[in-house]
A and B are shown apart, each in its own frame.
Chain A
């Protein structure tokens, strides 16, 4: 392994526009069959490094890069070199929805080959072959919106590697993936390395990607602060977790049950779905005052459909939903069972944080000061558009908005998606604080950290049925399905 060097870079500084350096003094090389992981907390410069070394930052985003980079013999920082980058790399970015440009898997994959000038018969053969290999052939003419999250992710892989590039670049491949999907990504990386390709992964959920003989660079404040190799020692894992990198096994901490009893939400014999299409049936669940309860399950199992039905966005196909012991219609639950979507941006309606709080205060009768007191970073971000806040800040703001409406139940859809360990722990603290004030949470998740550290009970939604599951069992299952064990780092 590691025979020819596929990627070699030494960046003295890089940034956006005329702005200051976001990253400084970063360098690395990667050979055939090698795996290099760039890890670090959110905002530490990992993605900027990726964009800088392949020439996107200075050629597309009006940024600047000082230093050198070579990708399989070309200089991607020059305009001519950047033209050749697509032949040498396959890039998979964080969110599949932002990456898929065509309506069907076939046209999505063929688009890459058309761009690179392949003849039509070769395009047809290669497209079908890669879709077959990634298990998407039966859906190659389906609309991409009809694919599950895992299938969309596989499609982004297919369209990135169909031309067989020597280098694969993955930016947070675990984002929006369930453990079943993460196992597929891990298998894909292993397979790709066996073929002699180099793989560069940018991640903060490090534990999924630090295996075999991976090399690791730890980023903090735009610099590489440590270089490590798999397997990691306990001390190294502790160091990584302290700076916000998810490197060790998930914890299962004792989450105190609510001090005050009383049922706030209950579903009896609930059947959920869309029209004729039943997603899950015979759902019985309950939520007591001050509880945080997880619902785990694969992407596409129906977790979001269940939350939306409980929130009143969808009518149940059958069964009852009781709020404070009384049967309710969907309309009666809207706003009382407050749904916070996976993409919190849907909740925002103004162009600055200050305005957002003013508008929320107008609707809820709370004061702006009261709302701001629940947002520790308010002063530094008051004039920023809610859509430009960091992912963790947007998530935080969405929960505060939900809380301000006085809803006794808040439903969180994948709240930890895209959060590093530090932000996750802050969010868990917020949920704990609100729980103590009597708010109940029902949380859809496939993140073992949410189950182990945020919730006091758990359900699993699998094959159209909801059942109770012990928290430890739930965490163990999620780890196992991702290809890890609870003991594994």
Chain B
């Protein structure tokens, strides 16, 4: 089976992202997070392990946050001096499922779309500005470089006596600072280069989006994720 068109994949990913912000009910969130997570990990994990790592870090951060701001209600667990109440668990689950849906949408898109198609198809079929389509395409080009940077930085951190898994805010800072500094420098020069290769003169050739069987199936599944929670009264 051929890959869905990049434009339809983009619409799919964008809609799932919006739903993740709209839905509150745990069943609705489960509907958009678990099936998409399975598909996302299958399609995109090899290309974007970093997203999975960032997701885990974000969920851990959410839990720490919930312990301070939403730790009320019945006691669920007591770990030494730490009392975890159901408010913290519910908040972590709710936000965790949202983050999972967002990461899954990103993984599906990254795993299925090619950068050169993103810049061409989104411009031509969805009329998106070239600055947005190029940024998306370049982000995908950066993923293998970020993966490489991540491996190098993690090894350098180990040589310098830092723990293997960065889970405290200080650890995360020592990981993100070099990662972002290097990516920033790279992005500046990439911007200059593409301008010198005529990016500002680029004119899209508009065309209608391609909708075949694969796209129809994907849109149907998307429609189900929108309609089912409303029909079942789960949404709010």
State the A residues within 8 Å of B (CB). Answer: 54, 56, 60-61, 83, 85-87, 89, 91, 93, 95, 97-104, 107, 110-112, 114-117, 143, 145, 159-160, 308, 311, 313, 334-335, 338-339, 341, 343, 345-351, 360, 363, 385, 387, 401, 405
CB–CB A405/B185 < 8 A: no
Smallest CB gap from A56: residue in B: B192
Contact (Cβ within 8 A) B193 A351: no
CB within 8 Å for A349 and B201 given contacts A93-B193, A98-B185, A363-B160: no
Closest residue of A by beta carbon distance from B181: A387
Q: Which residues of A contact B167 (CB under 8 A)?
A: none
- B residues 122-154 near A (Cβ < 8 Å) are 134, 137-138, 140-141, 144-145, 148-149, 152-153
Contact of B116 among A97, A104, A116, A405 (CB under 8 A): A104
Asked, given contacts A339-B155, A387-B182, whether A115 binds B198 with beta carbons under 8 Å apart, the answer is: yes
A-B contact pairs, 13 of them (CB 8 A): A56-B196, A91-B196, A98-B186, A101-B190, A102-B115, A103-B114, A111-B197, A114-B120, A160-B197, A346-B153, A346-B182, A347-B160, A348-B177
Distance from A450 Cβ to chain B, minimum over Cβ atoms (Å): 22
* CA A83 to CA B116, docked complex, whole Å: 23
B208: Cβ under 8 A from any A Cβ: no
Q: Is the CB of B116 within 8 A of A112?
A: no
Assess whether B157 is interfacial by the CB under 8 Å rule: yes
Contact of B174 with A by CB under 8 A: yes
Bound: A218/B168 CA distance, A: 51
> Chain A residues near B196 (CB, 8 Å)?
54, 56, 85-86, 89, 91
A143 to B145 CA separation, bound complex (whole angstroms): 12
Residue in contact with B149 in the complex, picked from A335, A339, A346, CB distance below 8 Å = A346
Partner of B159, one of A99, A101, A338, A351: A338
Docked complex: B162-217 residues within 8 A CB-CB of A: 162, 173-174, 177-178, 181-182, 185-186, 189-203
Query: What is B's interface to A at a CB cutoff of 8 Å?
Result: 114-116, 119-120, 134, 137-138, 140-141, 144-145, 148-149, 152-153, 155-162, 173-174, 177-178, 181-182, 185-186, 189-203
Contact check: which of B140, B155, B177, B190 meets A103 at CB < 8 Å? Answer: B140
For residue A162, which residue of chain B has the nearest CB? B197
Nearest-Cβ distance from residue A469 to partner chain B, whole angstroms: 29
In the bound complex, how far is the Cα of B189 from the Cα of A91, in angstroms? 12
**Please, how many angstroms separate the alpha-carbon atoms of A346 and B175 in the complex?**
10
User: What is the minimal beta-carbon distance from A200 to any residue of chain B, in angstroms?
Assistant: 13
The answer to whether residues A335 and B161 also contact, given A102-B137, A345-B178 and a CB cut-off of 8 A, is yes
Question: Which residues on the B side are within 8 Å of A112 (C-beta)?
Answer: 197-198
Which of chain A's residues has its CB closest to B160's CB?
A: A363
* Contact partner, A346, options B114, B152, B162, B189, Cβ 8 Å: B152
Whether the pair A103, B141 counts as a contact (CB closer than 8 A) is yes
Cα distance, A144 to B105, chains bound together (Å): 25
When distances are taken between beta carbons in the complex, the residues of chain A under 8 Å from B138 are 101
In the A-B complex, the 9 residue pairs with the closest CB atoms: A86-B198, A115-B198, A107-B116, A98-B189, A349-B174, A387-B181, A115-B202, A346-B152, A112-B197
A102 contact set on B, CB distance < 8 A: 115-116, 137, 141
Chain A-chain B contacts (Cβ-Cβ < 8 Å), number: 136
Contact B159 A343, beta carbon cutoff 8 Å = no
In the bound complex, residues from chain A placing their C-beta under 8 Å from that of B173 are: 349
Shortest beta-carbon distance from B19 to chain A in Å? 29
Residues of B within 8 A of A93 (CB): 189, 192-193
- Of all chain B residues, the one with the shortest Cβ separation from A89 is B196
Write out the residue numbers on chain A whose beta carbons fall within 8 Å of the beta carbon of B201.
83, 86, 115-117
Give the distance in Å from the alpha carbon of A110 to the alpha carbon of B202 in the complex: 12
Which residue on B lies nearest to A107, using beta carbons? B116
Whether the Cβ atoms of B116 and A103 lie closer than 8 Å is yes
With A339-B155, A347-B156 in contact, do A143 and B193 touch (Cβ < 8 Å)?
A: no
Residues of B within 8 A of A100 (CB): 141
Beta-carbon nearest neighbor of B158 in chain A: A334
Q: Is A345 in contact with B197, judged by CB distance below 8 angstroms?
A: no
Chain B residues whose C-beta falls within 8 Å of the C-beta of A89 in the assembled complex: 196
For the complex, what is the distance from the CA of A339 to the CA of B157, rounded to whole Å?
11
Q: A83-B201, A85-B196 are known contacts. Are A345 and B181 too (CB-CB below 8 A)? A: yes
Residues from chain B with a CB closer than 8 A to the CB of A87 are 198
Residues of A within 8 A of B116 (CB): 102-104, 107, 110-111
Q: What distance in Å separates the Cβ of B113 from its nearest Cβ neighbour in chain A?
A: 11
Is there an interface contact between A343 and B190, defined as CB atoms closer than 8 Å? no
Residues of B within 8 Å of A308, CB to CB, are 155
Distance, CA A103 to CA B110, complexed state (A): 13
The closest CB in chain A to the CB of B189 belongs to: A98
Instruction: Tell whether A349 pairs with B115 under 8 Å between CB atoms, given A91-B193, A145-B145.
Output: no
Q: Give chain B nearest CB distance to A431 CB in angstroms.
A: 19
Residues of A within 8 A of B120 (CB): 114
B134 to A: closest C-beta gap in Å: 8
**A82 CB, min distance to chain B CBs, angstroms:** 8
Q: State the CA gap A95–B185 with chains docked (Å).
A: 11
Q: Which residues of B sit under 8 angstroms from A145, Cβ to Cβ?
A: 144-145, 148
Q: What residues of A have a CB within 8 angstroms of the CB of B203 in the complex?
A: 117
* Nearest A residue (CB) for B114: A103
- Chain B residues near A107 (CB, 8 Å)? 114-116
Interface centre among A100, A110, A308, A349 (most CB of B within 10 A): A349
